[in-house]
Structure 1
Amino acid sequence: MSDVAEVAGVSHQTVSRVLNDHPSVRPETRDRVLAAISELGYRRNSAARALVTRRSGTIGVVTTGSLLYGPTSTLVGLEEAARDAGYFVSVATISGFDAATMHGALEHFMGQGVEGIVIIAPQVEVMRAVEDFDAPVPVVMISSADQPDAVRLHTVSVDQFDGARQATRHLLAAGGGEVAHVAGPLDWFDAQDRLAGWRAECAAAGVAAPEPIEADWTAERGYAVGRAMVREGAPSAVFAANDQLALGLLRAFWEGGVRLPQDVALAGFDDVTGSAYFTPPLTTVRQDFAALGRLTIEALTAALEGRSVTRHTLPAELVVRASSWSGRPASRVGE
């Protein structure tokens, strides 16, 4: 920094102000300092700065390492929001969620001097481990699960329950009969909430909810379920717990000569990249992962500043496309 100050012809304090975006620096002075930084190839020593300020500018993230669209998009949205807020992200991908493994991740982060921890916790197994997760820094959990009473956490999520209700309500109107549900694995909180939302909307409409069809998150399983529906008689509408299941159903229905939306109205969940280009384009429920990332960082920042943080839930958005509706309904219509 002294070298930069000498080249730019300013004080050491002025260089510091420029590096920390202080508003009192004149634009021409800032430009001169930035030019000197570029000329000298200066890089701030984050480790030394952390020793002085006791702030590392780093957030630890514990994730399952799932390659599924939801968890992956959550991690990407979180990292982008953290970077925009001036933080770097250190990720610990763990496959086991016993107390020893979680403790190891915690010790790893504490060794890095992280300012806070985010846990992407979509599964029951993760939540059980979180119940014993005692961190000396603020912790925010991204999960639709109810927060354990014994744990001091801050929770953010997308409203999976209402998203499922929106999809089911639309399918009841589009299909004119009962709505079948192909459920995701029920050790996932998202799958539990989508199942509960489907049941609640059927009950509110006075329509009997058939027995849900248990599945995983894959197109292969959706295809197998769709083939069985073609053999046994397809329902008038199907709500799939995610878009990959819906993709498999679409293939099976196409092979079996089942027309969408004339014979079956179909909706998925997630609005994965390319779902607008399925054949036909897929009605689905969109989750705003960028907004989820920003909300997580806002909650973590509030906790770091000692402000109270309540549970935050983002709305889900129904996107209606040709797999369920041949006209243009009043609700949002996708491309």
Structure 2
Amino acid sequence: MADVARLAGVSSQTVSRVSNGHPGVVESTRRQVVAAMEELGYRPNSAARALKRGEFRTIGVILFTLSTTGNVRTLEAIAASAAQQGYAVTLLPVMLPTQDAVRGAFTRLDELAVDAIIIILEVHLLDAVTISLPRHVPIVVAASAADDLYNVVDTDQIGGTRTAVQHLLDLGHRTVWHLAGPDESFAARARAAAWRDTLVEHGRAVPAVVHGDWSAESGYRAGLELAAEPACTAIFAANDQMALGLLRALHEAGRAVPAEVSVVGFDDIPDAASFLPPLTTIHQDFTEVGRLLVEGVLQQMRAGSTESGRRLVPTRLVRRDSTAPPRRDH
């Protein structure tokens, strides 16, 4: 800064004002200082500025996997929303779904300069009493049942599922089979429970659940099992990737979609409209989820306090060609 001041012929205080965007600097002086900065390759020391302000303008994000569509799109939305607010994102991946790995991620937070934390982890990984979250750090959790402890932002899992099942029942299907996600997943459990409750409320039979792991390959394996059920005319898949594998399995088994079997997914991934047939699905607004996650931690930072509660982002049915009324012989 002293070198810039000497080259520009101004005081170090003036250089500081220019680097911090202070409005009280004459334009000609500002241009002179900026030219000196460029000539000397000067960059303001962000760490020193952060220490002075007590703010690093960085949000830490802890998550388990980037292999699922939901996590990737949520992280993308968080990064975009944070950037709009002038914040960077530091990613702390948890490589194994164990409490030791989660504990290690939180420990690393003490070594990093972050102002707030967004957590994208299954709730069972947060249940260990040995995990100690940093005190007085704003925390928001995505898609979790931990709203009694933290501020939670989630898609309306129950409402979306009810809409999917209701759509199939309204088409005339006697009941709806379910291709569920992994049982340890909060979202998978919420969707499976809502599917079951909707069928019970309508007095319909509740078929046995078939589980996948969110991947298209697991959807294919489960699909071969479901295709062997002659009475199966409607399936709600807990995400679009599993629905993709399911469609392949039904095709190979000679079960036409939607003439013989109707399929609804959940997510509305960009490729869903290009499936064969194009997939009817529940749309999740990942952009809004990411925005609310960032908004939540920033509100806590500005208020100087943490909070608990839940904010739900609405879903909607996107009807395409994978659903239709059942054949009369069913």
- TM-score tier after normalising by the smaller chain length: 0.7 to 0.9
1:251/1:34 CA distance change after superposition, 3 Å: farther
- What is the number of equivalent residue pairs in this alignment? 322
Give the whole-Å Cα distance in 1 for the aligned partners of 2:124 and 2:95: 10
Do the aligned partners of 2:154 and 2:313 also contact (CA within 8 Å) in 1?
A: yes
Pairwise mapping of residues 287-298 of structure 1 onto structure 2 (< 5 A)?
287-298=284-295
Alignment-derived partner of residue 153 in structure 2? 156
The amino acid that maps onto 2:311 is H
| Per-residue CA distance 1:107-159 (angstroms, 9 max, x = gap) | 322222311111111x2432324873331212211123243x5x4x2211111
The alignment status of 1:263 with 2:273, answered yes or no, reads no
- Residue of 195, 220, 225 corresponding to 2:217: 220
| Per-residue CA distance 1:207-232 (angstroms, 9 max, x = gap) | 23222222222222222232233333
Where 2:171 maps in the other structure, the secondary structure is: helix
Q: Percent identity of the aligned residues?
A: 43
Do the aligned partners of 2:120 and 2:143 also contact (CA within 8 Å) in 1?
A: yes
Do the aligned partners of 1:82 and 1:88 also contact (CA within 8 Å) in 2?
A: yes
Structure 1: 5+ residue runs without aligned partners?
327-335
- Residue of 163, 168, 173 corresponding to 1:171: 168
Pairwise mapping of residues 61-100 of structure 1 onto structure 2 (< 5 A)?
61-96=61-96, 100=100
Alignment-derived partner of residue 238 in structure 1? 235
Do the aligned partners of 2:123 and 2:144 also contact (CA within 8 Å) in 1?
A: no
Give the whole-Å Cα distance in 2 for the aligned partners of 1:196 and 1:120: 21
1:58 Cα deviation (Å)?
Answer: 1.5
Alignment-derived partner of residue 194 in structure 2? 197
The amino acid that maps onto 1:270 is D
Give the whole-Å Cα distance in 2 for the aligned partners of 1:41 and 1:272: 44
Where 1:295 maps in the other structure, the secondary structure is: helix
Alignment-derived partner of residue 106 in structure 1? 106
The alignment status of 1:180 with 2:209, answered yes or no, reads no
Where 1:111 maps in the other structure, the secondary structure is: coil
| Per-residue CA distance 1:247-295 (angstroms, 9 max, x = gap) | 1111122223322222221111112231110001011112222211110
1:6 Cα deviation (Å)?
Answer: 7.4
1:8 Cα deviation (Å)?
Answer: 7.5
Alignment-derived partner of residue 328 in structure 2? none
Alignment-derived partner of residue 118 in structure 2? 118
Alignment-derived partner of residue 132 in structure 1? 131
Do the aligned partners of 2:58 and 2:87 also contact (CA within 8 Å) in 1?
A: yes
Pairwise mapping of residues 301-316 of structure 1 onto structure 2 (< 5 A)?
301-305=298-302, 306=304, 309=307, 310-316=309-315
1:20/1:278 CA distance change after superposition, 3 Å: farther
TM-score normalised by the chain length of structure 2: 0.85
The amino acid that maps onto 1:142 is A
Give the whole-Å Cα distance in 2 for the aligned partners of 1:170 and 1:91: 39
The amino acid that maps onto 2:259 is Q
Do the aligned partners of 1:97 and 1:125 also contact (CA within 8 Å) in 2?
A: no
Do the aligned partners of 2:99 and 2:126 also contact (CA within 8 Å) in 1?
A: no
Alignment-derived partner of residue 333 in structure 1? none
Alignment-derived partner of residue 274 in structure 2? 277
1:3/1:204 CA distance change after superposition, 3 Å: farther
Structure 2: 5+ residue runs without aligned partners?
326-330
1:173 Cα deviation (Å)?
Answer: 1.5
The alignment status of 1:53 with 2:53, answered yes or no, reads yes
The amino acid that maps onto 1:44 is P
| Per-residue CA distance 1:15-61 (angstroms, 9 max, x = gap) | 65665556777989877776665565442211111221121112222
Give the whole-Å Cα distance in 1 for the aligned partners of 2:85 and 2:255: 49
Where 1:156 maps in the other structure, the secondary structure is: strand
Give the whole-Å Cα distance in 2 for the aligned partners of 1:320 and 1:94: 36
Deviates more, 1:72-81 or 1:176-185: 72-81
1:205 Cα deviation (Å)?
Answer: 2.7
Where 2:205 maps in the other structure, the secondary structure is: coil
Where 1:262 maps in the other structure, the secondary structure is: coil
The amino acid that maps onto 2:313 is L
Give the whole-Å Cα distance in 1 for the aligned partners of 2:65 and 2:37: 38
Do the aligned partners of 2:139 and 2:306 also contact (CA within 8 Å) in 1?
A: no
Deviates more, 1:184-193 or 1:302-311: 302-311
1:135/1:188 CA distance change after superposition, 3 Å: same
Give the whole-Å Cα distance in 2 for the aligned partners of 1:15 and 1:249: 63
1:98 Cα deviation (Å)?
Answer: 5.2
The alignment status of 1:253 with 2:231, answered yes or no, reads no
The amino acid that maps onto 2:141 is M
Give the whole-Å Cα distance in 2 for the aligned partners of 1:211 and 1:267: 17
